[in-house]
Amino acid sequence: MTTKTEERVITLLPGQAALLTDFNASLLAAIAGTGGGKTMLGYWWLHSRMEAYPGSTWAMAEPTYKMLDRIILNSSDPGRPSLFEHFQQVGHHPRWIDKTSLIMETDWGKLYLGSADNPDSMQGAAVKGYWLDESGQMKQLAHDTARQRCAMMLGQVLHTTTPYNLGALKTEIWDRRNEPGIHVETWRSVDRPGFPRASYDEERARLPAWRFAMMYDGRFERPAGLVHDSFGPEDIVNDFPIPLQWPIYVGHDFGIANPAALFTAQNPTTGELFYWHEYLPGSGKSPYDHVQAWQQVVKGYNVIAKVGGNHQEQETRDAYTAQGWHIIEPRQRSVTEQVLRVIGQERLHKIKVMRSLRHIIEEKQTFSYKLDERYNPTDKFEEDQSYHLSACERYLHTYFTPETVVRRDGMSRVSISERHESPLRESGVGRVSLDYRR
Ligand SMILES: Nc1ncnc2c1ncn2[C@@H]1O[C@H](COP(=O)(O)OP(=O)(O)O)[C@@H](O)[C@H]1O
Ligand SMILES: [Mg+2]
């Protein structure tokens, strides 16, 4: 018995075609509505690039392992196979070299799959290209890792995502879309042939305008419920050397995988606090290594206080004290109390951050309250355990006596839920033919 594979001709959307034919830009980004054909574009990009540069190594990542499993390793969309099946369908003969560490080999090259919630899975040797799917949900650090892994091979990074917030995707890619080497295309969900117009209209009626614009039109909007909503561009300052006589304060967040520290200086005349150094070394360093590094940072300065950790982390504080770096426990234990103190200072615009501190700036631009099912902010913070520099910041601010008491009332809050895949169900794709090699 022979199985007949049906050949189906797909007309690429203008945005998909423009990105697939661009082999020169070092950064490609499809910022488009959900169900618009972004993940599919990633498949086609990988498959065309692998054929164009045989024998090279490639990588792709989703924000979480759960998403990798649900979107790439499996697919619930009959119109889009799993990535493995896609490579089978196009005759690349995929096989798993190592299913546990997610390394795939095809006739054209090797592919590493990873997720941004496990930074180690994104690290590794140089690659010719790196695809980040739903990168709007990833942090600056993941974007940087992809770029660094491509740098040596003059490779290309592809982002395929809807906008989620005003973080790295907006500031480092969208806002810089006219710079050389950066190629951004955007389109709406309904621009994709076959996208059900009715669900587009239903969603528009159901969702708050900002949410709809981001999810279905691929446009950046300010989401509701941002925690640091008073922190604005006027609080980001150009780097300058901190005068030696300014007092220094350091906030610390512990943890083996993601230790962090935030170095702050106070202008003695105005009382303003300047964040001037962020420390995010990654895993694998001992307390001794950290203390050596911190002492280097504050050499010649007068450090008044080091604050950090939660109430349960006295042992860690003791470990640093033993190395000659005494860290005190934050005065308030409640995260909400700590955050309110930071917000109070932000309202007064007493917090200034040097422009080169990209990670704390990103955290401030994205940290948000969880939203309820009607997209109204709740009392809970969204993923606060992954905001390490923000933790340093709120610990540190318990040290200062607040000048203003901030009440929760009337604060706007945020967060983004994790519902991003479209409910599309389409008839099956047979064989997909593509030819857009150089
Ligand atoms: N140019 C296109 N023409 C027709 N269908 C497409 C096109 N691009 C993608 N699709 C289909 O649209 C559906 C959604 O694509 P997908 O890439 O999963 O969307 P997204 O990642 O943007 O949510 C899939 O079934 C895919 O096969
Ligand atoms: Mg997708």
Query: What averages of pLDDT result for each successive group of 10 residues across the chain (438 residues)?
Result: 60 97 98 98 97 98 97 95 97 94 96 94 95 96 96 97 94 96 98 96 94 97 94 96 97 92 97 97 92 98 97 96 96 93 95 97 95 91 90 96 46 28 31 36
Indicate the CATH number for domain 7-223+421-432.
3.40.50.300
Q: Which ligand 1 atom is at minimum distance from the Cα of 42?
A: 17
Ligand index nearest the alpha carbon of residue 195: 1
List, chain by chain if needed, residues with CB within 6 Å of any ligand 1 atom. Answer: 10-13, 16, 34-40, 77, 79-80, 192-194, 422, 424, 426, 429
Q: Which atom belonging to ligand 1 lies closest to the Cα atom of 189?
A: 22
As annotated, the residues of the chain forming the CATH 3.30.420.280 domain(s) are: 233-397
Q: Report how far residue 16's alpha carbon sits from residue 29's, in angstroms, rounded to the nearest whole number.
A: 10
Which pLDDT score is estimated for 413? Answer: 33
Find, among 162, 150, 225, the residue nearest to 189 by Cα: 162
Q: Quick one: DSSP state of residue 86?
A: H
Of residues 378, 385, 387, the one with CA closest to residue 416: 378
The CATH topology of domain 233-397 is Nucleotidyltransferase; domain 5 (3.30.420)
User: In sequence order, which residues have a C-beta less than 8 Å from that of residue 393 and are 6 or more positions away?
Assistant: 251, 262, 275, 342, 360
Residues of the chain with CATH 3.40.50.300: 7-223+421-432
Written as one letter, the residue type at 261 is: A
Name 223's bridge partners.
Answer: none
- Identify which of 170, 171, 227, 214 has the alpha carbon closest to the alpha carbon of residue 367: 227
Containing 389, the helix (H) or strand (E) segment is helix 388-397
Those residues with Cβ within 8 angstroms of residue 171's Cβ, 6 or more apart along the chain or in another chain: 361, 362, 365
Task: Output the CA torsion 383→389→395→399 (10° steps).
Answer: -150
Ligand 2 centroid, distance to 216 Cα (angstroms): 12
User: pTM of the predicted model, to two decimals?
Assistant: 0.84
